[in-house]
Amino acid sequence: MKTNVLFRLIAGTAALLPVAAQAGPTLDAVKARGVLNCGVSTGTSIGKSTLDDSGNWTGFEADFCRAVAAAILGDATAVEFVPLEFKNAFASLQSGSVDMLARSATWTLSRDAELGFEWAGVYLYDGQGFLVSKASGVTSAEQLDGASICVTSGTTTELNLADYFRTKGMSYTPITVGSPDQSIANLEAGRCDAYTNEVGGLASYRLGLSDPAAYTILPDVISKEPLGPVVRQDDPQFEDVVEWTLYALVIAEEFGLTKDGVAQAAATTQRPEMRRFLGAEGEFGAKLGLPNDWAVKVIQATGNYGELFERTLGSQSDAGIARGVNRLWSEGGLLYAPPVR
């Protein structure tokens, strides 16, 4: 009887192993499959990855997945969106059930070094802040001594929160739940006094409140939150593709290439650097294992970085977030791409 149970246990474990052991070039797998499996939020992250009225994924991170699919497969619709709670996201990437994450994952040293992942750049430079109700009268994070703070479990925000209150010598009670919508519900019910997350996230979650105008984001930013696409480190070529998809968006803004104008620019431009970038000259796509017109497909899919940002998070969106440091380096921001050469 006992051995019987043991045997079943072993059989069960063994069945799980090959999944965990799956390795090999992700890029080839994506090409063979014809679809990119992209890990996104559970649809709650307005402006980053959310479902619209007709069931389509929209938002900055959802569109970034489309850009990568466009680069590899030439088809921005060849994306299988996999909604993941944050606490399951890393395990899903490790096990191979998604090819990449575009899920507001903060790049940190220990995650980079220990999880077996690579951050293929930073697509949003964010920082952690607090969302409070205006009725509470709180105007600065320094007034939050003794407060209950809602936070999503397993995130860097949970750690930054602890650091901040420890540094300031203040006390707090963390109300830790698995998903941001639960935190928002807790904030709305008065279960906690503030909800902490990346400021960009707060701006969009605020829209999910029944009365967004009654809540405000405190001016304090307590951390650096570089958010970027995450890939497994077993396929450096795939990492390069994701990295250069991001660079392509930045370079496109730099060159003034837009979603609608890129096809014509590719056909007519005489600037050598633009010709190399758009595949009219040289074999730069092939060096990445991609078709030569990969950059054109990327820009046609989502527009350049500026268009993408403004449409999903910025002035043309409900969230209305200012670009801040998410601007080209030449305009005083942090976005900088290496040359295509």
Partner 1 sequence: MLALVAAGLAYLAGNVARNLEASGMAGGFGFLREEAGFAMSFSLIEVSESSTYGRVFLAGLSNTIFIAALALVSATALGFVVGFARTSTVAPVRGAAALFVELLRNLPLLLVLIFIQAVVLRSLPVVREAVSFADTVYLSNRGIYFPWPRDDHALAAGVAVVLGTGFVVGAWLLRPRTPILSSKDVGAALAAAAIGSALLVSTVAFVDWERPALRGFDFTGGAKLMPELAALLLALTLYNASFIAELVRAGLQSVDRGQVEAAMALGLRPSFIRRRIVLPQAMRLIVPPLTNQYVHLIKASSLATVVGFPDLVAVFLGTALNQTGRAVEIVAMTAGVYLTLCLAVASVSAAWNARSKLKER
**Minimal distance in Å, beta carbon 6 to partner 1?**
6
Residue partners of 22: CB distance under 8 A and separation at least 6: 95, 96
Distance (Å, rounded) from C-alpha 276 to C-alpha 283? Answer: 8
Do residues 94 and 233 make contact, with C-beta atoms less than 8 angstroms apart? no
**Minimal distance in Å, beta carbon 191 to partner 1?**
6
Do residues 86 and 230 make contact, with C-beta atoms less than 8 angstroms apart? no
Site string for partner 1, 274-293 (x = CB under 8 A): --------------------
Report the residue number, 154 or 289, with the smaller CB distance to partner 1.
154
- 17 is a site residue for partner 1 (CB under 8 A): yes
Q: Which of 6, 214, 267, 322 binds partner 1 (CB under 8 A)?
A: 6
Distance (Å, rounded) from C-alpha 297 to C-alpha 340? Answer: 16
Report the residue number, 2 or 341, with the smaller CB distance to partner 1.
2
Residues 48-77 that bind partner 1 (CB under 8 A): none
Q: Which residue has the tokens 């925000």?
A: 157
Q: Which stretch binds partner 1 (CB under 8 A): 43-51, 107-115, 238-246, 252-260?
A: 107-115
Distance (Å, rounded) from C-alpha 188 to C-alpha 191? Answer: 8
- 174 is a site residue for partner 1 (CB under 8 A): yes
- 13 is a site residue for partner 1 (CB under 8 A): yes
CA 158 from centroid of its chain's CA atoms: 18
Report the residue number, 194 or 257, with the smaller CB distance to partner 1.
194
- 131 is a site residue for partner 1 (CB under 8 A): no
**Minimal distance in Å, beta carbon 130 to partner 1?**
13
Distance (Å, rounded) from C-alpha 40 to C-alpha 38? Answer: 6
Residue partners of 145: CB distance under 8 A and separation at least 6: 168, 170, 171, 172
Helix locations, 169-292, DSSP H: 180-189, 199-206, 236-255, 262-268, 272-278, 284-287
- 148 is a site residue for partner 1 (CB under 8 A): yes
Structure tokens at 229: 């696409």
**Minimal distance in Å, beta carbon 94 to partner 1?**
7
Distance (Å, rounded) from C-alpha 145 to C-alpha 175? Answer: 15
The count of residues interacting with partner 1 (CB under 8 A) is 53
- 134 is a site residue for partner 1 (CB under 8 A): no
Reference 328, options 244, 256, 230; nearest CA is: 256
- 142 is a site residue for partner 1 (CB under 8 A): no
- Check residue 292 and report its DSSP letter: T
**Minimal distance in Å, beta carbon 50 to partner 1?**
22
Q: Which stretch binds partner 1 (CB under 8 A): 188-196, 205-213, 221-229, 252-260?
A: 188-196
Distance (Å, rounded) from C-alpha 80 to C-alpha 99? Answer: 10
Reference 218, options 320, 145, 128; nearest CA is: 128
332 three-state secondary structure: coil
- 92 is a site residue for partner 1 (CB under 8 A): no
Q: Which stretch binds partner 1 (CB under 8 A): 86-94, 218-226, 270-278, 328-336?
A: 86-94
Q: Which stretch binds partner 1 (CB under 8 A): 61-69, 164-172, 220-228, 303-311?
A: 164-172
Per CB under 8 A, residues contacting partner 1 are: 3, 6-7, 10, 13-14, 17, 20-21, 23, 86-87, 90-91, 94, 110-111, 113-116, 144-148, 153-155, 158-159, 161-163, 165-166, 172-178, 182, 185-186, 189-191, 193, 232-234
